[in-house]
Chain A
Amino acid sequence: MALFKLSINNRAYDADVERDTPLLWVLRDNLGLVGTKYGCGIAQCGACTVHLDGKAVRSCVLPVSAVGKAKVTTIEGLSEKGDHPVQKAWDEVDVAQCGYCQAGQIMTAAALLKEKPKPTDEEIVSTMSGNICRCGTYHRIREAVKVAASKTN
C-alpha cells in the first residue's frame, strides 16, 4: 500500500491503495466517486472515461501510480451545476436509455469539443465510436455532440 495525493475535480484527495490499482477503482471504491463507470476493465468500452489534464483517458487501465500531479476531472466535476454544454445537450436531445454508458460518452464528447470546438461529422463519429452504448443510443449521442458544438464558442 502507498499513499497517493490526487487532485480530482479541483479538490485534493488522499488514497491509500496499492500502486497498480486502476484509477477507476480508486475513484469508485476509495473516494466514493461512482459516476465513473466500470464496463469492461480493458479499455474497450469507454464507460470509465475521465479527463487527465483535460484529455480523455480510460481510468480502468490507468494505474493510480501513473496519475502523478495530473489534474483529474470526473463526471461529477465536469461542471458545478451539471450545466456543461455537453451535459445540457444530453438532456435536450434526451440521449439516455439505461444511462449507464452516458457518463463516459459525455466525458469523451467534452474532451473532443475542448480540443476541437467545431468537429466534423467524421471526427465526431470516429471519436465516439470508441465508446460502447449497449442500448444503442448512438443516433442521439451523435446529435447531442453536434448540439453541444453549436452552442460552444
Chain B
Amino acid sequence: MQTLEQTSRRNFMKIAAAASGGLFLGFNWTNSSALPVVVDAKSIAAGSINFNSYLSIGTDNIITIVSPNPEIGQGIKTAFPMVVAEELDADWKQVKTVQGNLDTGIFERQVTGGSGAVPHSWERLRKAGATARHLLVEAAAAKWNVPATELTTENGKVLHKTSGKSASYGELAEAASKLTAPTEVKLKEEKDFKLIGQSVRNVDNHNIATGKPLFGLDFYKEGMLFALIQRPKAFGLKLKSVDSAAAKAMPGIVDVVTFENSVAVVGKSTWQVKKAKDALKIEYEKAAELESTADHNRIFTQLMDNGEATVRRKDGDVDAAFKGAAKVIKAEYQCPFLPHSPLEPMNFFAHVREDGVELVGPTQTPERARTEVAKLTGIAPEIITVEITRQGGGFGRRLSADFVIEAAHVSKLVKAPVKVVWTREDDMTGGTYRPAVRYRFEAALDKNGTMIGYKLRGVGMNSGNSTREDNFPSGSVDNLLIDSVEHKSPITTGPWRAPITNFLAYAEQSFLDEVAEAAGKDPVAFRLELLEKAKKSPVNAIKYDVDRMIAVIKLAAEKSNWGKKKGVFQGFSVYFSHRSYVAQVGEIVMQKGKPVLKNVIAAVDCGIVINQSGSLQQVRGGVVDGLGHAMYGNMTFKDGAPDQSNFNGFRLIRMNEIPEVDVHFVNNGISPTGLGEPALPPAGGAMANAFYKATKQRLRNQPFVNEEVFKGIS
C-alpha cells in the first residue's frame, strides 16, 4: 500500500528514473509568488519534499512535466506543458507529459471544471519554465566561462553566438542541478512567444489512434471482478425486497450484494454480470413523489406566478418603469432535463482493504472522491490513493463522486478488487441531470425604444439559482429585477457543461432579439447601445468587461458581414461565461423550402490562445454541443422514470447535422481564460435568432425539433 507521501515520491521517482539524472525542479501550484526550487535526490528519498509539481530535464534530453488536472478532452495535457516549454525554449519534440495522480500535498485545484485550470496555472507554469531556463543558461555560462548575458536559448539548446558554442539542455542538466534557483526570473513578452499560439497536436494522439488502454473502462487488474448495479428504476422509489437467487446461480456470478437502494451483481465479466442483473427480481416502494414531465409543466406554471422567489439582483424601480413604459414585451422559455452522455459511461475501480483503498478511474474531482470514500469506509484519506485515467468526456458528470463511492461500497462488501461499470442505460437513467428550467422575461421600452426596465424570473428543478444575475444585460438597464424559484424534485441534478448558462444564454439572447425587434432596432446595434450605456453610466456592479464584450460583438459582425448577405438569414448571440467572451452569428439558408443552418461564425475572446489547434476544437465542439442539445436533447419522465435510456431514444447530433463553424480569436494579449465551456452557451441563441429571421417564428422551447414550427422541417 502506498501512503500519500510514497505516492508522490513514486510519481517523482518514475520521472527521475526515466530521465536518468539531470535537473529536477519542484514548483508550487498553490501560490503564484512561490518560486520553483531545485530538488536533490536525497530530499526526495527522505520524503521531505515540499512542492507542488515537477519539471525534470534528463541528461537524455527528455523534458518531463506532470500535468495534475484530469484530462477529459479539454486538451489540458497538451496546453500545460506548452506553457512550460515556451518559457524554457524547449524543443517540443523532447517534451513528455505525465498525468499526475491525486496528491493534495503536491497539487492544488486538481479539478477539471468551470474552465478554470488554465487561468489558475498560467503564471506558475511560466515561472517554472523560466527558472529552469535560467539555471541552464547559468550552467552554460560557468562551463564556457562567458557572461550569461551573452547566451541565448533556442530549441532545447543554450547558444553562445560569438564563439559558436552550443550545448543541449540534457548536457547541461547535471551542472544546472547543482545551482540554486533564482529568486526572480524574467518572463517572456507575448510577442516573443514561439510555441504558445501555435497549433500543437494532442499529446495522446498516437495512443488514441492505436487503441491503447487509456480510459477508466480499459483499466484491468489481476483478480479484478466486474460489477453492475441495479438502481431504482424511477426517482422517488426505494428498495423493498430483492430476490437474487436466479441471478446468483448464473455462470460467472460471484456475489450479489445490497446497499442503500442499490443491488450490485458481481462476477467475472461484464456480459455475464449484465445478464444476471436482468434476472434480478426486485420490488420497490414509493419514498417520494413520482414526478412526470406533465407534473413539471404544471409546477413551472404554478411557481412562475405564485412561487416564493429569492431576489438575486434589484436595480432601480422596476414597477415604476413598467408602469410608465411605452411598450412591454414578455416571453417564456423552457428547457428539459438533460443527461450528460459522455461517450465513456461512468465506471470506477476500487479495492478496499483494511490497510488502505486503491481507486482508479475517470473523475473530474479526485479529491472529493477520496474524501467521500474515506467517509464511507472509515479509512484515513492518507492511505487512499486515486489514480486518474484519461476520461471519455465529462461535461460535468464526473464532478460528482457517486460512482466512486458505489465502487468502494461494492469492493468493501465483496472484499475484492472491483470495477463498477455502468451500461449506457444505467448512465442515462442514473440522474444528476442538467435541471429543467423555465424563464420568464419582461422588458419595458420607452417611446424611443430604450430598454428602461428588465425582469427575469427563473423557475428550476433542483437548479439552485437558475439565473446569472450579474451577467449582461445587468448594468445596462436602470430598472432591473432578477429572481429565482426552485422546486425540490426527487430527480437528481448536477452541473452540466456551462451550468445554467447552457440554457439561460439562449433564452436571454433570443429574448433580447424580441426586444430589439419591438424597439425597431437592429439586434447588433441594440446590444451595442446597451453596452455603451453600461460603459458610460453603469447601473450598480458590473462583473463583465464591457469593452471585451463590445469587441467580440464587433468582430463577429465584421467577420459575418452582418446584415449584408443576400439570401442568408443571420441570427446574433453573445455571451460572457467562465471569464471568456463569445459572440456567434448563425446563418440559415433555405434549401428546398426548408431552413438549414449552414454556418456559425464565432468571435472568441479567451485572452491569449495557448494552443490554436486545441482551442479551435473547443470552440467548434462547444458550438456543436450547444446546437445539438438545443435542437434534439430531450429527457422526459413518467412516474419518476426517464423515458429515454439510450441513444435510440435520446438523440445526439451527428455529422450530417452540423453547420460549418468559422472561428476568430480576439488577439488582445490578456492572460488566458477558460475555453472548455464558453463557446457553448451562445450557440442556441444564434440558431434560434436566425431561424426567426428565416421563418418569423420564435423557438421558445428546447428541444427545437419538438416545436410545432419545426414539424416537417427536421
Contact = CB atoms under 8 A, between A and B. Distances in A.
Interface of A: 1, 17-18, 21-22, 25, 28-30, 32-42, 44-45, 47, 74-76, 78, 82, 87, 90-92, 94, 96-103, 106, 125-126, 128-142
A97 B654 CA distance: 16
Contacts of B251: 1, 18
A136 B208 contact: no
Contact of B209 (A42, A47, A82, A126): A82
B712 interface: no
B424 A99 contact: no
B204 interface: yes
Nearest to B390: A99
B270 A25 contact: yes
Contact of A42 (B206, B271, B394, B647): B647
A98 B210 contact: no
Contacts of B617: 94, 97, 135, 137, 140
A98 B343 contact: yes
Contacts of B324: none
A36 B215 CA distance: 11
18 contacts: A17-B269, A22-B271, A25-B270, A34-B220, A35-B212, A37-B217, A39-B647, A82-B206, A82-B209, A98-B390, A98-B394, A99-B204, A99-B214, A125-B655, A132-B647, A136-B625, A138-B658, A139-B661
Given A128-B655, A129-B654, A138-B655, A94 B201 contact: yes
Contacts, number: 183
6 nearest CB pairs, A to B = A35-B211, A100-B392, A98-B73, A136-B624, A75-B211, A99-B208
Q: How large is the interface on B (under 10, 10 to 19, 20 to 34, 35 or more residues)?
A: 35 or more
B621 A36 contact: no
Interface of B: 71-75, 199, 201-202, 204-206, 208-215, 217-218, 220, 226, 251, 269-272, 341-345, 390-395, 423-424, 613-614, 617-618, 620-625, 628, 646-648, 652-658, 660-661
Contact of A96 (B202, B270, B647): B202
B661 to A, nearest CB: 7
B648 A75 contact: no
Given A90-B209, A97-B74, 6 more contacts: A22-B271, A25-B271, A98-B391, A99-B204, A102-B208, A136-B622
Given A18-B251, A102-B209, A29 B424 contact: no
Contacts of A100: 215, 342-344, 392-393
A34 to B, nearest CB: 4
A34 B210 contact: no
Given A97-B617, A100-B215, A41 B423 contact: yes
Contact of B210 (A1, A76, A141): A76
A134 B343 contact: yes
